[in-house]
């Protein structure tokens, strides 16, 4: 069993070009690749999903994680091809390995979500000191199962982020046909249709960043009392980080102008966006 996992790890790492050195270079010190953690899980499901992902033939089959979503009556793109196109597009795109890993694990539903950690008995006793709800598998804000889909696309942070982006004048002007909804955010559907490659790439990055931020937010000790203002600041901070990272990779304004414009618009519109926004806990 251990041999199998080690072999699988090697294959996945080499296909994603992760070496010991590149893992060390990922920010926040240690090797934080979610996939590395994922591979150490003992659940059969996870290794199956990884195997499925690295098989060349997956392009022509409907992936299991997609079928499971349909079985669970979760919202998914109606056409399985949309789902596979999104994976292929992100895999081929110029994104760093951490971002690619995150997207793959999110699409394959193998992210270590709160629900998953709970099932594996990995929610530490520290959490129960914060609130007795915190040590369960449900979201303490929305009172529903806190699975990866909820965390990345349906919880209060992604909901607010969708609302904020949809209301920016610059968003409406540049992407008139794209009113964001949780399905776009989760699967990047409709982003295919953006003609300008640079605009498409940066929109992908913005959505990925919002999902990553939302995914991690439940671990924030203040999660149970986030106000719209605080959520807005978290959104600004995460896009600011994205902007710095993107600028670090390329000095050409063409590669970050859209992220920068969105960030500037969000800063200017803070009052208008947050003043009357009420966090609704019944948005499901």
Q: How far is the CB of 151 from Zn ion (least distance, A)?
A: 7
Q: How far is CA 55 from the centre of its chain?
A: 23
Q: How far is the CB of 174 from Zn ion (least distance, A)?
A: 30
Asked if 140 interacts with Zn ion (CB under 5 A), we say no
Q: How far is the CB of 213 from Zn ion (least distance, A)?
A: 13
Asked if 155 interacts with Zn ion (CB under 5 A), we say yes
Query: Contact with Zn ion (CB under 5 A): which of 33, 141, 149, 189?
Result: 141
Q: How far is the CB of 152 from Zn ion (least distance, A)?
A: 11
Alpha-carbon torsion 43, 45, 50, 54, what sign?
Answer: positive
Q: Burial code of 85-104, b = ≥16 C-beta within 10 A, e = fewer?
A: bbbebbeeeebebbbbbbbb
Q: Which stretch binds Zn ion (CB under 5 A): 78-86, 119-127, 142-150, 161-169?
A: 142-150
DSSP sequence for 151-193: IIIISHHHHHHHHHHHT-HHHHHH-TT----HHHHHH-TTSTT
Nearer to Zn ion, 139 or 152 (CB): 139
Q: How far is the CB of 138 from Zn ion (least distance, A)?
A: 8
* Residues 206 and 242 sit within 8 Å (Cβ to Cβ): yes
Nearer to Zn ion, 136 or 261 (CB): 136
Q: How far is the CB of 160 from Zn ion (least distance, A)?
A: 11
Nearer to Zn ion, 145 or 199 (CB): 145
Rounded to 10 deg, the angle between the 44-54 and 2-15 helix axes is 40
Asked if 115 interacts with Zn ion (CB under 5 A), we say no
* Residues 97 and 16 sit within 8 Å (Cβ to Cβ): yes
Nearer to Zn ion, 115 or 184 (CB): 115
- Tell me the site size for Zn ion, rule CB under 5 A: 4
Rounded to whole angstroms, how far apart are CA atoms 179 and 162? 9
Could you give the count of Cα atoms lying within 13 Å of 227 in the half-sphere of its Cβ? 6
Q: Which of residues 242-261 bind Zn ion (CB under 5 A)?
A: none
Query: Contact with Zn ion (CB under 5 A): which of 12, 18, 108, 142?
Result: 142
Nearer to Zn ion, 13 or 215 (CB): 215
Q: How far is the CB of 88 from Zn ion (least distance, A)?
A: 30
* Dihedral, 184, 94, 31, 63 alpha carbons, nearest 10: 50
Asked if 152 interacts with Zn ion (CB under 5 A), we say no
Q: Identify the H or E element spanning 30.
A: none
Q: Which residues bind Zn ion (CB under 5 A)?
A: 139, 141-142, 155
């Amino acid at each position: 069993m251990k041999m199998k996992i080690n072999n699988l790890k090697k294959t996945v790492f080499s296909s994603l070009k992760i070496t010991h050195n590149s893992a060390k270079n990922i920010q926040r010190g240690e090797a934080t690749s979610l996939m590395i953690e994922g591979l150490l899980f003992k659940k059969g499901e996870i290794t199956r999903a990884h195997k499925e992902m690295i098989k060349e033939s997956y392009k022509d089959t409907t992936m299991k994680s997609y079928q499971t979503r349909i079985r669970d009556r979760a919202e998914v793109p109606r056409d399985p091809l949309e789902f596979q196109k999104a994976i292929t597009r992100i895999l081929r795109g110029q994104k760093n390995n951490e971002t690619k890993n995150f997207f793959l694990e999110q699409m394959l539903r193998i992210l270590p979500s709160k629900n998953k950690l709970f099932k594996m008995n990995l929610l530490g006793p520290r959490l129960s000191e914060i609130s007795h709800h915190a040590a369960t598998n449900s979201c303490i804000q929305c009172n529903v199962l806190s699975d990866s889909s909820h965390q990345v696309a349906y919880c209060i942070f992604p909901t607010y982020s969708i609302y904020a982006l949809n209301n920016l004048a610059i968003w409406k002007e540049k992407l008139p046909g794209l009113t964001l909804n949780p399905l776009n955010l989760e699967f990047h559907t409709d982003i295919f249709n953006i003609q300008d490659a640079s605009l498409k790439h940066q929109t992908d990055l913005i959505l990925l960043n919002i999902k990553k931020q939302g995914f991690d937010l439940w671990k924030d000790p203040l999660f149970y009392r986030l106000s719209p203002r605080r959520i807005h600041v978290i959104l600004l901070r995460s896009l600011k980080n994205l902007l710095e990272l993107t600028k670090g990779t390329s000095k050409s304004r063409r590669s970050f102008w859209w992220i920068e414009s969105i960030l500037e618009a969000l800063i200017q519109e803070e009052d208008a966006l947050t003043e009357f926004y009420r966090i609704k806990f019944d948005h499901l």
